Structure 1
């Protein structure tokens, strides 16, 4: 129940931010859903772990004026973690977050049906829950362990990548992002002070233009 309440809270805040931005700026804003996959692992003092696929999805807002520069922000539910395999012990460490990345974008062209762009920015992730699951010890199944308390409540990081905006109709765009994301702060609070989240994100969005219209 607590997880759902947090998710609804951040979604509500994000929608209010969109409303305020649209009224104040009245320029080239677009909003929409963003869905995709995350491939993550835990780096630093975390040997014997491999990449773990997960789901990412939520809402975003983007501002792109008639220039090469733009800015975007997301509120995303993100599944992260890693697969562990050492000394006969195997398990999946799943860590769920609400990610709030803010990115500065540079668009390669001013207009057209395809607008490639590169971006860099920061991310703050709010911990929802964590669990060690699918545990086996020398082939013997073990129960899942809920270990949310072992992880920091927030995770600060940076991200960078490349995106492509494809115009499908007037004020409608399909957007793809390919992102690399890295934690800058430790994700665990006790026995493993140097562990960090590392992930690759592949995201697909559908953009709806909002606000005042300008001629190209």
Structure 2
């Protein structure tokens, strides 16, 4: 958690440093996550499907040159996946703090922007749920360092459409470049998170 605050503080200090040179805008955003996984090596002989979730957080829009801006974000984001077997339905939900460090490039004279850049994700918690005809079992996973990576590096690409100077509509795809662990098992497979998301933003 300390890493999150240090990184966030650095981003906002940078925003303050350039404020005298160019006007910046702070904002809030939120939206729908459609998350799934890309399976890696190990015991991964199963098919997965989307586990819907959400994201919400704060943004900064810092103009650099004409048509290009630096737009870091700090987001709470839920991810995970679902699978159905002969025994029932399994759902894993992971909670992250995502820090996308993005560039926004305005395309033409419209409000459409291309956004892309790296992302660092910090794992907060994992919950497993197994549902059968006999009932439902929920388990809060103990995320010791030997089982799960606590931070992951990934990338983001997508668009933002500025409806006006304060409200925008956005959509994007995020993919982890690192897998969640190094020692796969049937209960904890190796995988990389992937998330399609859509939402709205509001700038002050």
TM class by shorter chain equals: 0.7 to 0.9
Distance 2:197 2:177 in 1: 17
Distance 2:98 2:131 in 1: 30
TM-score by length of 1: 0.79
Q: Which runs of 5+ in 1 are unaligned?
A: 1-5, 209-216
Matched position secondary structure for 1:188: coil
Q: Which residue does 2:8 correspond to in 1?
A: 14
Q: Which residue does 2:151 correspond to in 1?
A: 154
1:34 and 2:32 equivalent?
Answer: no
Out of 119, 122, 143, the position equivalent to 1:123 is: 119
CA separation of 1:78/1:143 partners in 2, compared to 1, >3 Å: closer, same or farther? same
Q: In angstroms, what is the RMSD of aligned CA positions?
A: 2.4
Distance 2:190 2:84 in 1: 19
- Deviating above 4 A after TM superposition, structure 1's stretches of 4 or more consecutive aligned residues are 9-13
Q: Which residue does 1:211 correspond to in 2?
A: none
Distance 1:20 1:147 in 2: 36
Do the aligned partners of 2:184 and 2:190 also contact (CA within 8 Å) in 1? no
Q: 5 Å matches for 1:38-187? A: 38-45=33-40, 46=44, 47-65=46-64, 67-109=66-108, 114-133=110-129, 135-137=130-132, 139-149=133-143, 150-167=147-164, 172-187=165-180
Q: Which runs of 5+ in 2 are unaligned?
A: none
Distance 2:155 2:7 in 1: 22
